[in-house]
C-alpha cells in the first residue's frame, strides 16, 4: 500500500492517554473514576440509521476496497448489497472494481497484507525508554522529552495509546486516512498534573515512519462532528480514562469517510457488545470484514490473556488490538498489537518477536474479549466490552 504525508500545525487539542480503566499499561496506577460533571467529557452515542444497522448485521455492507489495487488514493465508498438478488453492484466506469469476494462464500482462511509502515507501528515510550529497537528515547525529531526536565516525571500516558494505535492500524487499510501524517502534539492534562511553567516545552514531534504522527493526531486532535471535545482520548483527568468503544467506532467512521459530514455516521463501522453476540458471531464479523471488505476488526481484550503478554501475570489489562486475519481450519486469529516490548509498554520479558502481529487460538481471543466486563455507559471511564467491525 502507498501512503502520503501531510504536515499539520500543532492544534491546541493535545491531551492525555489511557492509564485508567481502558488502559494497556499494567505498570500504571488506575485512575479514579471521575464523577459526572461539566468537566467530564460525555459523548452521546451516535444514533446510526436502523436500516443501515440491519444491513450491517446481515453482512450486506461492504467497503468496496479491491485488494488488487493500491489502497491509498483509491476512490471508494462502502455500499450495501440489495437483499435480493444477493450480488455485487455493477462497477462504475473509471472507478475501482467492487470487492471480488462480495456475495460469494469467503475463504476458510484469510489474512490482510500489512504494508511496511503497518508492520512497524508502535506506541511511543514515556521518553525514558527506546522508541525503536535498540534506539534512543527521543521523539522523531531527535529531541529528548519529559525525562530531560529536572523534577518532572516521565509521561506514561504515551504508553497508553492502544485505542488510537489499533485504530491507526485499521485505518491504514482505507484509502482516505493520512496514516503517514507528520504531527506535533502536547499533553495539557499532563502539563497541568506536573504543574510546569509554559517556559518548558513538552511538545513532541512524530512522523509517519511508525505511523505515530497519525496516532497522536487520532489521540488528541481529530474531532468527529458530534464530539464536544477533540481527540479519541479522555481529557477529563490525569491519568486519562482512555477511549471507549464509542470513541473507536466514531473515529473509524469519521476518518475512513475522509471527514465526510454527510455519510460518516453510517459509513462502515458499528459496535457489537460481546454479551449480545457469541464466539461464532465474532467469527462471522471478522470473516466478513477481513475477507470480504479487506479491513480489520478492532477489539477490546484482556491483554494479560494474549500470548505476547504472558509474563504479565493474572489480572485485567484492558487493551485494544486489531484483528487482521483468521484461519477457520486451524482455529486461529491474527492480530496486531501496537504496545511494544522495547518501549516497556508491554511488560513481557521474553517477547515472541519484535513484530507487532501475533497468532492466537480463536478460543483464547474470545475468552480475552469476554474477560472485559460489558458497560455501555458513554462516560469516559466506561464504554467497554466488545468489538468494532
CA distance 357 to 115: 12
Residue 361: inside a domain: yes
pLDDT for the residue numbered 40:
62
Span 273-332, pLDDT tens digits? 999 999 999 999 999 999 989 999 999 999 999 988 876 667 899 999 999 999 999 999
Residue 335: inside a domain: yes
**Do residues 131 and 343 lie in contact, with contact meaning Cβ atoms separated by under 8 Å?**
yes
Continuous H helices in 204-244: 212-220
CA distance 321 to 84: 35
pLDDT for the residue numbered 240:
82
Q: 3-class DSSP state for residue 272?
A: strand
pLDDT for the residue numbered 106:
82
SS3 content of the chain, % helix, strand, coil (to 5): 25, 15, 65
Residue 4: inside a domain: no
**Do residues 232 and 383 lie in contact, with contact meaning Cβ atoms separated by under 8 Å?**
no
Sequence-ordered list of residues with C-beta below 8 angstroms from that of 314, at least 6 positions apart, any chain: 304
What nine digits make up the cell of 246? 464509542
The confidence band for 371, taking pLDDT boundaries of 50, 70 and 90, is very high
The boundaries of the domain holding residue 198 are 51-77+99-388
Instruction: Kindly report whether the global pTM for this prediction surpasses the value 0.95.
Output: no
DSSP string, 39-70: TS---PPP---HHHHHHHHTT-EE----TTS-
CA distance 50 to 52: 5
Residue 200: inside a domain: yes
Q: 3-class DSSP state for residue 34?
A: coil
Residue with cell 466486563: 373
Residue 91: inside a domain: no
What nine digits make up the cell of 55? 444491513
**Do residues 297 and 63 lie in contact, with contact meaning Cβ atoms separated by under 8 Å?**
no
Residue 9: inside a domain: no
Q: How far apart are the first and last CA of the chain?
A: 21
Mean pLDDT calculated for residue range 143-168: 80
Q: Is the peptide bond before 257 cis (omega within 30 degrees of 0)?
A: no
pLDDT for the residue numbered 338:
95
Span 199-212, pLDDT tens digits? 455 788 999 999 99
Q: 3-class DSSP state for residue 359?
A: strand
pLDDT for the residue numbered 234:
87
Cβ burial of 199 (10 Å; 0-12, 13-18, 19+) is: exposed
Sequence-ordered list of residues with C-beta below 8 angstroms from that of 116, at least 6 positions apart, any chain: none
- Count of domains for the chain: 1
Residue with cell 515472541: 352
CA distance 220 to 150: 26
3-state secondary structure 179-190: CCCEEEECCHHH
* Residue 94: pLDDT over 80: no
Residue 12: inside a domain: no
The confidence band for 174, taking pLDDT boundaries of 50, 70 and 90, is very high
Residue with cell 464536544: 228
Residue 19: inside a domain: no
Continuous H helices in 195-317: 212-220, 245-256, 279-287
User: In the predicted model, what is the mean pLDDT of the chain?
Assistant: 81
Amino acid at each position: 500500500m502507498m501512503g502520503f504525508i501531510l504536515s499539520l500545525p500543532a492544534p491546541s487539542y493535545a491531551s492525555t492517554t489511557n492509564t485508567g480503566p481502558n488502559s494497556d499499561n499494567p505498570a500504571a496506577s488506575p485512575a479514579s473514576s471521575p464523577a459526572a460533571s461539566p468537566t467530564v467529557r460525555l459523548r452521546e452515542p451516535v444514533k446510526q440509521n436502523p436500516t443501515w444497522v440491519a444491513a450491517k448485521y446481515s453482512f450486506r455492507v461492504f467497503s468496496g476496497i479491491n485488494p488488487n489495487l493500491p489502497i491509498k488514493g483509491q476512490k471508494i465508498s462502502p455500499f450495501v448489497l440489495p437483499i435480493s438478488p444477493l450480488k455485487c453492484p455493477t462497477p462504475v466506469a473509471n472507478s475501482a472494481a467492487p470487492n471480488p469476494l462480495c456475495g460469494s462464500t469467503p475463504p476458510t482462511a484469510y489474512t490482510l497484507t500489512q504494508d511496511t509502515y503497518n508492520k512497524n507501528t508502535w506506541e511511543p515510550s514515556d521518553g525514558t525508554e527506546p522508541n525503536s529497537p535498540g534506539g534512543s528515547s527521543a521523539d522523531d525529531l531527535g529531541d529528548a522529552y519529559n525525562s530531560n526536565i529536572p523534577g518532572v516525571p516521565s509521561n506514561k500516558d504515551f504508553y497508553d495509546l492502544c485505542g488510537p494505535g489499533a485504530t491507526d492500524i485499521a485505518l491504514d487499510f482505507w484509502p482516505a486516512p493520512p496514516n503517514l501524517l507528520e504531527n506535533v502534539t502536547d499533553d495539557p492534562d499532563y502539563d497541568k498534573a506536573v504543574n510546569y511553567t509554559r517556559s518548558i516545552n513538552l511538545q513532541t514531534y512524530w512522523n509517519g515512519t511508525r505511523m505515530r504522527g497519525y496516532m497522536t493526531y487520532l489521540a488528541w486532535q481529530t474531532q468527529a462532528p458530534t464530539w464536544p471535545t477533540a481527540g479519541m482520548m479522555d481529557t477529563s483527568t490525569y491519568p486519562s480514562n482512555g477511549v471507549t468503544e464509542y470513541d473507536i467506532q466514531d473515529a473509524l467512521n469519521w476518518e475512513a469517510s475522509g471527514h465526510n459530514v454527510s455519510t460518516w455516521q453510517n459509513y462502515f463501522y458499528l459496535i457489537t457488545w460481546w454479551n449480545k453476540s457469541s464466539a461464532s458471531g465474532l467469527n462471522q464479523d471478522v470473516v466478513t470484514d477481513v475477507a470480504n471488505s479487506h479491513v480489520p476488526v478492532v477489539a477490546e481484550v484482556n491483554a494479560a490473556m494474549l500470548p505476547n503478554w504472558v509474563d504479565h501475570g493474572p489480572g485485567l489489562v484492558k487493551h485494544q488490538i486489531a484483528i487482521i486475519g483468521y484461519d477457520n481450519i486451524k482455529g486461529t486469529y491474527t492480530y496486531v498489537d501496537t504496545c511494544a516490548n522495547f518501549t516497556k509498554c508491554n511488560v513481557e520479558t521474553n517477547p515472541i518477536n519484535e513484530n507487532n502481529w501475533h497468532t492466537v487460538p480463536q478460543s483464547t481471543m474470545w475468552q480475552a474479549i469476554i474477560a472485559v466486563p460489558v458497560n455501555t455507559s458513554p462516560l469516559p471511564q466506561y464504554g467497554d466490552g466488545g468489538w468494532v467491525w
